Structures are given as structure tokens and as C-alpha cells.
Structure 1
Amino acid sequence: MLLTITCTRPEDAAWPATDLGFLLHKNPGRVQAFEQSYGTAHVLYPEATERRCTAALVLEVDPIRLVRGRARSTPDFSLGQYVNDRPYAASSLLSVALGAVFRTALRGRCEHRPELARTAVPLRLELPSVPCKGGAEIARRIFTPLGWTVTATPLPLDPAFPAWGDSHYLRLELTGTVRLADALSHLYVLLPVLDGAKHYWVAADEVDKLIRAGAGWLGDHPDRAWITRRYLARRQSLVRTALARLADIDEVDPERLDAVEEVDAVVEGEDEAAPGIPAPSEPAPSLAVARRTAVLDALHAAGARRVLDLGCGEGALLRELLADTSFTDIVGVDVSVRALNIAARRLRLDRLPERVAQRMTLLQGSLTYTDARLAGYDAAVLMEVIEHVDPPRLGALERAVFASAAPATILVTTPNAEINVRFEDLAPGDFRHHDHRFEWTRTQFEDWARAVAIRNGYAVRFVAIGVPDPEFGSATQMAVFTRTAADERSAETDHVGADNTEGDDR
């Protein structure tokens, strides 16, 4: 199994091509070996001149170790254990070796040449044998959007018998001016994707690996859903999690990604390796961004400075609240400790200046139980939260938020179920997310919100979020609750209960 990386120095560059050795953290004057779980990875330099430098990663796969690592379900004698392409074709074995041997380069770090590590340089990557059942067109489709010029040559099944035709293996050459770290991350993610298989069990931590390696490019890739599904071995729960996190990081519409398993289903008779979704002619507007913008606008209009993000998840809204200095005290609350830990990492709370970090507090707690720590705030946000609560527990959430915490302003957003018919890949009755307990129509949401307002002394108005559909409204609906003064509650209650069309900008 072989990968070569060639760097050619531009004519006007002051640095020699041998600086590739600094970027890879491997000395061109030495041959180095690194033990891997299934063999040994060797790094050597067939060519190292000031004009051009080539680094080669050669992975020798030990067939005995490969057999020992087989799945428990494999029969004691299986021909596939001994006769397979793993020692020769670029796959997840090479991807793992690449991540281990070039770990620092993959992260874009180089103490000796920091500027060069941040610079796009002329590169050529060559792989003699890459499994790709979709053929050369799939390889071009996956790598071209990343800035590569792709030369993909099908390999014959047997050169001695041309009539047998081509195999599903390619000789792949990628040329382009790309940062070395980006080039390595493209290979790290996309080699197992093209192969369509991994040599190890895909666990939940693979989502973190994908998000890290795909940072800066995967979220914008036109076939991101197909890439994510293949990288995560089609494990539906992991795919949904990864796409939701990409939606927050790269501002991709999460409602469209929720149904990835249905959208990206393989049609019977179609080549499994082919991406199921054609690239859109232009990017869809981001509902996630529109939702957060509407929430921030409502908070500013209310004059809120001390804000609760209830059901904060992994911190998408917290990040924008923290970036806005008008919010002086921000509290994120979630029942999931794991989500809070991810939020803390993404917000880099441990690296922020103390005066900035002091504005943010993360609390573990359930929104269906009263919590004295949440009292006294100007505003609370429940953004895409209530639909994850079992309907019988909504009364408990109401008591904890509206009666106990009782901030001056409460913002609640939730999907509008009516527009689901516009999602071609949602079957009738399906929800946009697998964890939704319900999805309401506009009338159902408004009836619930008005009843809550009456019982707890709030006025309420409604805001539509997203591009409106002339028949079914916008994809997200928001209720803005404003607490009334004690001596005005009765009058406001009558107004809210009767009809609250004034101010409804749906």
C-alpha cells in the first residue's frame, strides 16, 4: 500500500522543496518505520532536491495480524481472511496509518516553518490502487470540489485478458495548490469513504474524528451527506449526530440533514457507491442561522442582558451570545453532561480571557424540575427544545420555566409540522428528527402558547422564521412571551386568550 506526496517549489518561492520534511516532521535524510496494529508504516524520500521533493508512505500489512483482527462472526476457515485486497489497496488501514504517522502535520502545526504550514503549496498525491466501486467519475466528484485536479485511471481486472474489462480499482493522482494539512485531511476522510468499508468497529468517537478532520471543508461539500454516511459505516444514529454538528459548525440547514437516511437511500439497482443526492445548483438558505438571528433580535428588543439558554445542547446559540458583549451573564443548561462538555470545548472556555469566561456558566439540569439557580434572569430561550419533551411532561416544563424561573421574556421555537409536506423525502407522519416526540401545526403551537401565557401571566406574540411558504408558512415558529405587571395581568390575559393576531408577522 503506497502513497507519495510531491511538493514542487514555485519559481518565486524563497523556500526549498525539501521543507516538505519540516511540514511532515520527517527528515528526508532518514528512512523511518512506525509499527501499526496490522503492520509497519515506512516513510522515505525517493527524491529530495531544492526544486522538488517526494515523500512516500509505504504500509506493509501483516496478513497474520489481519487474520487475528477479524470479526468474531467470521468462520474459522474463510478464504476471505487470506485472499483479499487489504495489503495492496488504499483503505482505512492507510487512513489510520496516515493519521498516526503524520499526526502533527494533519493538525497543521510546524514550529520550524509555521508560515509555510499555513500556506497553500503545489502538491501532487499519487495512489497506485484505490478501491472505488463508483468508478473514476465518483473520485472526480468527491475530490474536485476541494480544489484538486483529478486523474483517475481504472485498472484492468487482468492485463493479460483485456476482454474482462476494468476492475473497480483506480490509479489516483491529485494535483493542486493546497495546504498540506488540508491535503492530508482529505485523504484521511475520503479513502475509507471511497472504499466503503473500515477494518475496525465504528464507535461514537468516530463522529469527533470526522468533525475534526473535516473542519473547514466537509460542511461545504456538495456530497457531505453521502461522505458522512459512508465514513460512519451507515450507522444512522451517528450520521444524524455528525450532520447536526456540521449544521452548527458550518451553518448548514439541520432540518434538511435530519432525514439523511431517507434522502440518501440507495435505489435498487443503482451502484451503491454513487452519491444519492445531486449537488444543488446553489446553497439552500440556512434555517439554523435564521433561527439564531431571530432569537438574538428578540433578546435585543427585550433589552435582556442576563440570559438562560435552556436545552443548550452543544452550544450553537451560546457561542453567539458570548460573542455579543451586551449579554453580561449567560447560563447554558442541558440534561446531557456529554453535550455540556462538548459545548465547553467548542467555546474554548479554558482558553478565553477570564473576564470573558466569567460571563458564561454551564449547568447540568432537567427542564422538567424546578431549579432555584435559574430564577432572576431577564430572558430564557428554549430553541428547538419542547418537541424533545414527552407531551405529558410539558406541564412540568411549564411549571419549572414559566412559574418557577419566571424570567421577564421567554422565547420558544419549534418546527412547523405543516411544511413537512414540502420535504420530499419525509414520509407522511414522519418527524424531522428521530428524537422528536411531536411536531405541531401553527394552530396547535399557538393554542398551547396562549394557554401557557394565560396560566402564568404572560402576553405572547408569534414570529415566523425562515422563507415562508404561501400555503404552509415558515419552517420554524417562535413564541415570544413577555411577563405582564401584576396589576395588568387580568387585562393582558383576556387579550391573549381572545386573539393575538396583532404583531403576528407570520
Structure 2
Amino acid sequence: MLLSIATRHPPATDLGFLLAKHPDRLQTFDLAFGEAHVFYPHADADYCEAALLVEVDPIALVRGRGDGGGPLSQYVNDRPYVASSFLSVALSRVFGTALNGDSKSRPELAASAIALDAQVPVLRCRAGEDMIRRCFEPLGYAVDVERLPLDAQFPEWGESDYYRLKLSGTVRLSELLRHLYVLLPALDGDKHYYVGDDEVDKLVDKAAAWLPAHPEREWIALRYLKKRRSLARAALARLIDVDEDDVETAEIAREESEARIERPLSLNDQRMNAVVAALRAAGATSVLDLGCGEGRLLGRLLDDARFARIVGADVSPLVLERAAERLKLDRLAPLKRARIELVHGSLTYRDARFAGFDAACAIEVIEHIDASRLDAFERVLFEHAQPRTIVLTTPNVEYNAKFETLPAGRMRHPDHRFEWTRAEFRAWAEGAAARHGYRVEFLPVGEEDAALGPPTQMGVFTR
């Protein structure tokens, strides 16, 4: 696995002082699982690039691992090649001084933000490109991501969960290293060693200056700590200086901000009733709920025996855990439990698991997607999943004027990227239907205002 860091900040060769590694020498370091090498492909006053190459010993890799990933996991896996917790360990071992922000030779430069580029040739991220951007862009980086094919010689095999990543930003070197130290294993979603309380200390140490204000802090903490929710709560409680129980309360409160605004109308109940009615009218027996959240629609579908196969998909593992708890999946009768599945996946990337359903729903989801990713969402839903029926709801921004507790110009939820007028929604929906061979019918949800329309607008697409 490889990481390169480069700068043009004059004189660029000062990067060697910041990393405490001389550009003229190849240096090798022993690690518990192999070796790390530091070398400089380029080093002059105008441009300097340092590379960290980590070679994983396959024998050390499998020692003590067992066969938890399957009988071949010890012999066939991606661990020697992708940026992961192995690379984070190497960063700490090899660039520990720079990671701490120290430099005996250039202390002023170590404390200064300079233009830096970082490149990772291969990063695994099952949550997709959108999550890579959502992790790094709030930290001020320009993010260049390229999805890699499973095999360039066989494009018909489709796309992979692997990406080439380039970051560019004006930051302190220690900040860049700390961001990579935490985010690379979080995006990879696995760690090669036991995760316990000491990992909470590492996360707090490396992320205290930036994670508390990060919009994806819950997702990052949970993934960095290998989905151990109790550890994630403990880490977030220390990072944002609240009790552990308050972390859960704060996250629930954020998700319910929209519900509080709409609650006087009982709009959520009306919305769910309308969606279930549309699914029944379509004769659907298998339903995919994209962006299922905490499972409010899933629960209603699960209580209706006509829906024999139900799958909820969401990009947030934390939300999926709450959905499982809310639906009491661990306590369902076997036949009922067999009808429902929760899957982690991105709504803007093709996923074979999304195909083969009678109907798909995207309830109050589209407004959470960046406008630049709407085309990708459309292709995933209409072109690749291709259900017979699609039910999609979104807020009607015109109706916002009737919510007394919503300030003028504000959207109903802090994570909404946009909210459409009726004309805007109609234009998008009719265009998507025409492009993919669907018909669309528009239905109001909630009491209609003569001038402003309904609070929620729903499109039912059929083919």
C-alpha cells in the first residue's frame, strides 16, 4: 500500500524537515506485520514528494487471524494493497513526530498551513464516493476520486468498491496526517487488530481538534471503532464534552428536527399511509426502501403480510443499527424475520442488491442528496434497479411559509441540500420518467393549501 505527500511551498524540500526524513536516503522501518519504506520520487526547491510504501508480510498478516472471513480469507484478501489500519499504524510509527506537529528544525513551518497534496492509489470504501467526499470536503480539501474497475481487462465485470484518492488543501502537515490516520481506516471499515478502550484514546488524541464539528462525526467514530457502538458513544462523549447518554439523545434530536416542524400536521403518518396505499395499489409484494432511516416505513410494511420481501438500505451504519433496534429484529418470529433485511449501501452507486424488486421507495430522501449527484441517483434507481413501481416523496418548499416555527428562508432539516417547488419537482420527475420509460402520477400528501399546495409532494412512477 502506498501514500504520497507533496508540496510546492518554497523551498519544497523543507518537507523533509517536517517529516524528519532526509530526501536523499531510503529509510526502512520494521513493523509487526511487515516493513515500511520512505523515499522521495521528487525532491527539489520547486516540488517535493515523499512516499510511504508499506509491505505486508503475508505470514504475519494471517498469524492468529483464524478464518472469520471465510476459509480462504487468510490467503485471498486485499489487505496488503489498500489503505487501511495498516497504513495508519505505519503513519504513527514512521511519521510520529510530524503527526504530533513537532519539528526541531522547522518549528514555525510545522505550525503553519501550507499547500499539500496527498494521494492514495487504492482505498476501499463500500459506502461509495459520496461518503469519501463527505468525510474530507468538510475539512477543506479539494477531493479528486476515481472509482476503479474490478478488472480493466474485463469491464463487463462492473465497478469495484475501490477508489483512487487525491486530496489538495492548505493545512498543517500534522492536520493532514491526523485526518488520514482516522479517516482511512474509517472509510475502509475494518481493522487488523482488536478494538478496545485504548482505541477510544487514540481517536480522541488524533481527532479532538476537528471531529467534534464534523457533520459525519457519528459515522466516522463508529467506523473507526469497528462498529462498536458503545465505544463510539464513549469517544463522542469525550470529544464533545457531554455524557454518553446525551450523545444518543443529541443524534436522535438532530434526526427529529424535521419531524418537530411537521408534527402538528401528523404529516409523517399521512406520508407513510399514502406510500403504503400506493404500494398496495401497485400490487407490490417485494419492496426496497432506499434511505430507510430508522425504519418507519419498514415497520408498516412488516406488519402487512402481503409484503413478502422487504429490504431497507441506508448509507449510515448508525441509522441502520437504530432501525434494527426500533424494529426489534432480534426478537421477531423466524418467519417474520425472514421477510426483512437491512443493508448498508449508497444511493448514488450501482448496487446489484437493489435489483429485482416490484417496487422501490425513496421517502424524503432526494433532498438530502447533493444536486451534483442527482443524475447518479436517477441512474441507480431508474436504470439499474428498474422496479415496476417507484414511490418518491419530497417536501414542497412553497408550503414552508405555513410553518410558524420555521424561519423564513430556512429548510425543514439541517441536512437538506435543497427543497423543490411543485414546478421544480414536476420538471425533474417528468424528465426522469421520460428518460427511463416510466409514467409518473403526482399525488398530494397532507392538506392542500389553495395557493401553496400540499406540505409533501409524491410522485408514483410506473412502467
Q: Give the drift of 1:240.
A: 1.6
**Counterpart secondary structure, 1:226:** helix
Residue 51 of structure 1 aligns with an amino acid whose one-letter code is: D
Q: Are 1:226 and 1:276, in contact at CA under 8 Å, matched by a contact in 2?
A: yes
Rounded to whole Å, the distance in 1 between the matches of 2:124 and 2:171 is 24
Residue 140 of structure 1 aligns with an amino acid whose one-letter code is: R
Q: 1:99 aligns with which of 84, 92, 96?
A: 92
Pairing 1:288-437 to 2, within 5 Å after superposition? none
- Which residue of structure 2 aligns with residue 6 of structure 1? 6
Pairing 1:22-421 to 2, within 5 Å after superposition? 22-71=17-66, 74=68, 78-248=71-241, 255-258=246-249, 269=311, 274=316
- Which residue of structure 1 aligns with residue 303 of structure 2? none
Rounded to whole Å, the distance in 2 between the matches of 1:113 and 1:144 is 28
Alignment size in residue pairs = 275
Rounded to whole Å, the distance in 2 between the matches of 1:203 and 1:253 is 17
Q: Give the drift of 1:178.
A: 0.9
Q: Are 1:244 and 1:257, in contact at CA under 8 Å, matched by a contact in 2?
A: no
Q: Are 1:122 and 1:176, in contact at CA under 8 Å, matched by a contact in 2?
A: yes
Rounded to whole Å, the distance in 1 between the matches of 2:246 and 2:48 is 46
Rounded to whole Å, the distance in 2 between the matches of 1:168 and 1:58 is 22
Q: Deviations over 1:436-461 (max 9, x none)?
A: xxxxxxxxxxxxxxxxxxxxxxxxxx
Q: Which structure has the larger Rg?
A: 1
Rounded to whole Å, the distance in 1 between the matches of 2:232 and 2:2 is 30
Residue 242 of structure 1 aligns with an amino acid whose one-letter code is: A
**Counterpart secondary structure, 2:212:** helix
Distance 1:51 1:245, change over 3 A: same
Q: Give the drift of 1:74.
A: 4.3
Q: Give the drift of 1:236.
A: 2.3
Rounded to whole Å, the distance in 2 between the matches of 1:42 and 1:83 is 24
Rounded to whole Å, the distance in 1 between the matches of 2:59 and 2:324 is 46
Q: Are 2:5 and 2:49, in contact at CA under 8 Å, matched by a contact in 1?
A: yes
Q: Give the drift of 1:134.
A: 1.6
**Counterpart secondary structure, 2:163:** strand
**Counterpart secondary structure, 2:167:** strand
Q: Are 1:134 and 1:271, in contact at CA under 8 Å, matched by a contact in 2?
A: no
**Counterpart secondary structure, 2:102:** coil
Q: Are 1:142 and 1:223, in contact at CA under 8 Å, matched by a contact in 2?
A: yes
Q: TM-score, normalised by structure 2?
A: 0.55
Rounded to whole Å, the distance in 2 between the matches of 1:60 and 1:219 is 34
4+ residue runs of structure 1 moved beyond 6 angstroms? 251-254, 261-268, 423-427
Rounded to whole Å, the distance in 2 between the matches of 1:180 and 1:258 is 35
- Which residue of structure 2 aligns with residue 18 of structure 1? 13
Residue 3 of structure 2 aligns with an amino acid whose one-letter code is: L
Rounded to whole Å, the distance in 1 between the matches of 2:203 and 2:89 is 13
Percent identity for Structure 1 against Structure 2: 51
Rounded to whole Å, the distance in 2 between the matches of 1:158 and 1:259 is 44
Q: Give the drift of 1:215.
A: 1.9
Q: Are 1:265 and 1:276, in contact at CA under 8 Å, matched by a contact in 2?
A: no
Q: TM-score, normalised by structure 1?
A: 0.50
- Which residue of structure 2 aligns with residue 380 of structure 1? none
